[in-house]
Amino acid sequence: MFKAISMRDPLLAVLLLAGCATASSGGGAPAAVAPRVEPLQLPAVSWSGEAQAVHLLNRLAYGPSPADLRQVQQMGPAGWIAQQLVPADIDDSAVEKRLADFPSLSMSTAELVARYPRAKKVAQAKGISLEGKSPEQMRAELVGVVEPFHLPRQVGAELVAARLIRAAESRRQLQEQLVDFWFNHFNVSADKGAVRWMVSPYEREAIRPHLFGTFRELLGAVAHHPAMLFYLDNWASTREGFNAPRRGRVGLNENYARELLELHTLGVDGGYTQQDVREVARCFTGWGIRKPNEDGSFEFHPQAHDRGSKRVLGVEIPAGGGMEDGERVLDLLARHPSTARFVARKLAQKFVMDSPPPALVERVAQVFLRTGGDLTATYRALFESPEFWSDTARAAKVKTPLEFTVSAVRALGGTTAGDVPMIQALTRMGQPLYRAQPPTGWPEVSQPWVNPGALVARIDFGLKLASGRLTGTEVPLPSVNGTPDEVVDRTARAILHRPLGEQTRSTLLAALGVSEVMPDGEQRRVDGAKLVGLLLGAPEFQNQ
Amino acid sequence: MSAFSRRHFLRGAGALAALGAVPGFLGRALAASAPGSGKTLVLVFLRGGADGLSIVPPVGDPAYRAARPTIALAAPGKEGGTLRLDDVFALHPALSPLLPLWSDRTLAIVHAAGLPGATRSHFDAQDFCESGTPGLKSTADGWLNRAVQRSGGPEGAFRVVAIQPTLPRMLVGDAPAVAMSSLGQFRMPGGPAGSSAFDALYAQAVDTALRTTGIETFEALREAGSAKLAQLPPANGAEYGGAPIARRLQDVARLIRSGVGLQVAATDMGGWDTHVGEGTEKGQLASRLAELGGALAAFARDLGPRWADTRVVVMTEFGRTARENGNRGTDHGTASVMLVLGGGVRGGRVLGGYRGLGRSELFEERDLAIGTDVRSVLWETVQAQLDLRDASRVFPGFSPGARVLG
């Protein structure tokens, strides 16, 4: 569709070559495939091996699963991170096989529009009039006419299911966390018009291939993608006074330009003016979409482009640049120090803590600048930082609803189909996936996720999951052999990975109704489902 | 102790030492409040930029029909016609359930309302409407939370409630606020036994935010459970229907009627971004308005005598272009309309500084120009409902001019 995507390959080749030269000294790790990046230099920490693995999996993965916990402890944190930084080398065939059940995941927007048309369109084609009918009446009319699995909402349902399955079960855990981060950074909402057919290709084409490349490639892929062009209205933005076919006199739309500067690159205090916003918008006029509701691929419209000269952040962009004007702007922004700081800070918020120390942000930003926005090098700087491995970072973040639900499934080595009950649970907690309306995406910090309604929804989710009432998502319950004290301690350790406080233990024992000891020493057996439900809903499990 | 200082008390450095005393303290605070005697403010946010020029069309402005050849609403008296309000304005026919409120003067309309420094971005405009500081994105809290912080209201678990999945920006801040999708879903997880275990677990939480929220949550759960809030049926023959906004307002009415001390409620409604096929007396916008009008009318009726102490403000982030676009819709504009409803309202009037849709009267030759600052209406409302005096504490940098609502 456009050239920017394929630029990653030579870079990857360079990365792989560089990695091969140093991979031979793999240390004591019993790795099947030696990681192809330079070994990481992690700061010395006094935590136990388990504590290190738990922290790592809480941040770079969707929480510890029994299998991943074992693997990190075997490979060591440095070895495991190195492996996660080259996801292509990790065999993920089990998950890929499951995703083969979702045909929409590999379709282009044009195919999706054709295959999953609006119900109204189907009705029209079959000669059914829906004019002036209420949604209920429409639904009644359409039953039996439209196949439910061929409605547009199926595209969203498959995308959510795939995201949840990957988050819970993919062995490329860092990749999945980064998909979450970068999709959110460059958010589009499936609720906005034609985006519903573009969002799946968007994640597949613009986000996933560029997670470990350069920021400029990622930025370019996003800027070109019809999902973003539609979501932030750039497709409708033209030079002032342009007489568009069928649309009449149209003009500049600043929406994308503003968010590009404010949310994608420089940050709100990154040093741009309102005049810059307008100039950037002028540069991007003509970046459009071929038939958004039908074809949905990128198309440059030279007639709609503003051919005059522009001045962006003090840099002259001469007249007549055509589509290259936009590329020039992206070049400027991708290497701007404000962008480096903005991206470094947001990554540090995601991976380290809500208010990252300025020194850490500055250090990571310098790596970003020095390496020309090499994302792998940037992540590395973060994971190697003493701040990442500091006591203040441990359990310092509240899990997002996505992280909470998926980490609950993983904690017990469970599995999910990512279907309706999971989606409903996420919605109740305030995170319906792919439907964040504002371009800011979901909040990266804790505050908005901690409120009474959401807390009740979280506790409820844990109880439902543990008692097998969350259809499509299952966790095996741990053994309840032993005395209640032993069972509670062992299960809490397996789920929370830290020793229980005396008060918490007695609260749990009391809630389980097992505190009472018979004269012959017999005690009631622990209800395993109830115990797991209590632990998943406990405050300690909301943190990561 | 005000809620403001309570939250600080819980979150502050002394919190750990004082923790043991908290439940008793909260219990006393709850008992000391006089729930059921206060006034309530309800804020309904229409997300997406609702078209004030179709909601309350200026049918008496000759420029109106010219600007909207295919989507102008018919004059009163014609088929599918609007409902006459005064010589200039009429009400969208889908809002006919609100006519009785207009007649008994508990509905006022403020036209051409907006925030200065207009932005046509939904996101910025909503942000500014909710932070209450147009042009300033770094404001951490919301105007409505700041208002609550400064009012001496009843201290209870349900003092500030948002009936929506996450707390809206306008309610973020130091004053405790509860957000929930619905009262029906807000019930003791795992029954009373399970709930008391979680209550204890959260009271011991090391994470301050989780501990504070936990305390607020279980306090609210106990109260919701004992009052059987979610089961309260509508009174006075009110019929809400099934629209999401109706169910949400029904929950607000339940909180008001059960006397749990609700002082501020907020909810929202989407579907107002009518770029394509906006419709006239029927269609996209009409469907939304029918839901909204029906819900508000049922709400007023349900409240009965409590309607006198309640004030509802309906607002949106911006209005839409004066002229229709090439798709029989409208694009992002500037000023829109606000509805102010309730007992203390001197209604039955279209207020605000509407200037007209003539070319020279428009903002940037395309949008209805702002005649009234949204903050004036909001400030007069919190002044009336929360008994506040200093506008600059709620809306920094804003000094209210002449009164809008009278």
Tell me which residue in B122, B167, B326 faces A246 most closely, judged by beta carbons: B326
pLDDT confidence bin for B257, thresholds 50/70/90? very high
B167, B206, B269, B289: which to substitute to probe chain A, counting the most A Cβ within 10 Å? B167
pLDDT of residue B236: 96
Is pLDDT at A266 greater than 80 in this prediction?
Answer: yes
Check CB contact under 8 Å for B220 and A507: no
Is the CB of residue B126 less than 8 Å from the CB of residue B374?
no
Q: In chain B, positions 220-259, which contact chain A (CB-CB < 8 Å)?
A: 220-221
Closest among A164, A64, A544 to A351, alpha carbons compared: A544
Cβ–Cβ contact B140 with A under 8 A = no
| Distance of alpha carbon B309 from alpha carbon B41, whole angstroms | 9
Helix (H) or strand (E) holding A297: strand A297-300
Angle between helices A215-224 and A324-334 (to 10 degrees): 140
| Distance of alpha carbon A61 from alpha carbon A310, whole angstroms | 44
Cα distances (Å, whole numbers) of residue B95 to A90, A101, A218, A505, B288: 59, 47, 47, 58, 10
Cβ–Cβ contact B209 with A under 8 A = yes
| Distance of alpha carbon A262 from alpha carbon A257, whole angstroms | 9
| Distance of alpha carbon B377 from alpha carbon B59, whole angstroms | 24
| Distance of alpha carbon B210 from alpha carbon A543, whole angstroms | 9
Regarding predicted confidence, which is higher, B403 or B329?
B403
Name the minimum distance, in Å, from the CA of B301 to any CA of chain A.
25
pLDDT of residue A518: 75
Q: Could you tell me what percent of chain B has a pLDDT over 70?
A: 90
Cβ–Cβ contact A501 with B under 8 A = yes
B356 φ/ψ sector (left φ>0, alpha ψ -120 to 50, else beta): left
Q: Give the long-range contacts of residues A241-246, CB within 8 A, separation 24 or more.
A: A242/A303, A242/A304, A244/A304, A244/B326, A246/B326
pLDDT of residue A187: 97
Residues of B in contact with A254 (CB under 8 A): 120-121
DSSP state of B153: -
Closest among A289, A233, A292 to A112, alpha carbons compared: A292
Residues in chain A, how many? 544
Cα distances (Å, whole numbers) of residue A404 to A62, A64, A458, A492, B208: 8, 12, 8, 16, 18
Place of tokens 């729930």: B35
Check CB contact under 8 Å for B165 and A248: no
pLDDT of residue A35: 52
Check CB contact under 8 Å for B194 and A258: no
pLDDT of residue A246: 67
Is pLDDT at B149 greater than 80 in this prediction?
Answer: yes
Name the minimum distance, in Å, from the CA of B171 to any CA of chain A.
11
The neighbour count for residue B106, using CB atoms within 10 Å, is: 24
Closest among A290, A300, A324, A326 to A198, alpha carbons compared: A290
Range A447-462 average pLDDT: 90
Cβ–Cβ contact A459 with B under 8 A = yes
* b/e sequence B246-279, b meaning 16+ C-beta within 10 Å: bbbbbbbbbbbbbbbbbbbbbbbbebbbbbeebb
pLDDT of residue A247: 61
B161, B217, B288, B323: which to substitute to probe chain A, counting the most A Cβ within 10 Å? B217
pLDDT digits (tens, 9 = 90+) for B348-376: 999 999 999 999 999 988 899 999 999 99
Is pLDDT at A260 greater than 60 in this prediction?
Answer: yes
- Residues A505/A508/A511/A513 CA torsion (nearest 10 deg): -60
| Distance of alpha carbon A473 from alpha carbon A480, whole angstroms | 22
pLDDT of residue B37: 52
For the CA atoms of chain B, what is the radius of gyration?
22
Is pLDDT at A383 greater than 60 in this prediction?
Answer: yes
pLDDT digits (tens, 9 = 90+) for A108-127: 999 999 999 887 778 778 78
Cα distances (Å, whole numbers) of residue A293 to A227, A246, A297, A469, B251: 12, 15, 10, 40, 39
B16, B172, B180: which to substitute to probe chain A, counting the most A Cβ within 10 Å? B180
Task: Return the structure tokens found at A213.
Answer: 């490349």
pLDDT of residue B9: 39
Residues of A in contact with B126 (CB under 8 A): 438
DSSP state of A33: S
- Residues B130/B134/B138/B139 CA torsion (nearest 10 deg): -50
Max distance between CA atoms of chain A, in angstroms, equals 93
**β partners of residue A242:** A250
Is pLDDT at B29 greater than 60 in this prediction?
Answer: no
pLDDT confidence bin for B127, thresholds 50/70/90? confident
φ and ψ at residue B250, rounded to 5 degrees:
-65, -40
pLDDT of residue B46: 97
State chain B's mean pLDDT as an integer.
Answer: 87
Which residue type does A302 have?
A: P
Closest among A229, A162, A230, A235 to A200, alpha carbons compared: A162
Tell me which residue in B165, B205, B325 faces A453 most closely, judged by beta carbons: B165
Place of tokens 């809008």: B404
Place of tokens 């020029």: B53
Q: In a 3-state reduction of DSSP, which class is residue B210? A: helix
pLDDT digits (tens, 9 = 90+) for A38-74: 889 999 999 999 999 999 999 999 999 999 999 999 9
Task: Return the structure tokens found at A59.
Answer: 């941040």
pLDDT of residue A527: 93
Helix (H) or strand (E) holding A98: helix A93-99
DSSP state of B320: B
pLDDT digits (tens, 9 = 90+) for B318-351: 999 999 876 678 888 999 999 999 988 999 999 9
Helix (H) or strand (E) holding A229: helix A226-231
Regarding predicted confidence, which is higher, A162 or A146?
A162
Cβ–Cβ contact B129 with A under 8 A = no
pTM of the model: 0.82
Whether the CA torsion A485, A486, A491, A492 is positive or negative: it is positive
B164, B207, B324: which to substitute to probe chain A, counting the most A Cβ within 10 Å? B207
| Distance of alpha carbon B343 from alpha carbon B330, whole angstroms | 34
Is pLDDT at A442 greater than 70 in this prediction?
Answer: yes
Is pLDDT at A15 greater than 70 in this prediction?
Answer: no
**How many CB pairs below 8 Å do chains A and B form together?**
141
Task: Return the structure tokens found at A470.
Answer: 């969350």
Which residue type does B122 have?
A: H
| Distance of alpha carbon B38 from alpha carbon B256, whole angstroms | 10
Alpha carbon B164 to its chain's center? 12
pLDDT of residue A16: 39
Write the secondary structure of A99-159 as one string of H (helix), E (strand) and C (coil). Answer: HCCCHHHHCCHHHHHHHCCCHHHHHHHCCCCCCCCCHHHHHHHHCCCCCHHHCHHHHHHHH
| Distance of alpha carbon B128 from alpha carbon B91, whole angstroms | 28
pLDDT of residue A520: 81
Q: In chain A, positions 110-139, which contact chain B (CB-CB < 8 Å)?
A: 132, 134-135
Max distance between CA atoms of chain B, in angstroms, equals 71
State chain A's mean pLDDT as an integer.
Answer: 89
Task: Return the structure tokens found at B170.
Answer: 């306008």
A240 φ/ψ sector (left φ>0, alpha ψ -120 to 50, else beta): beta
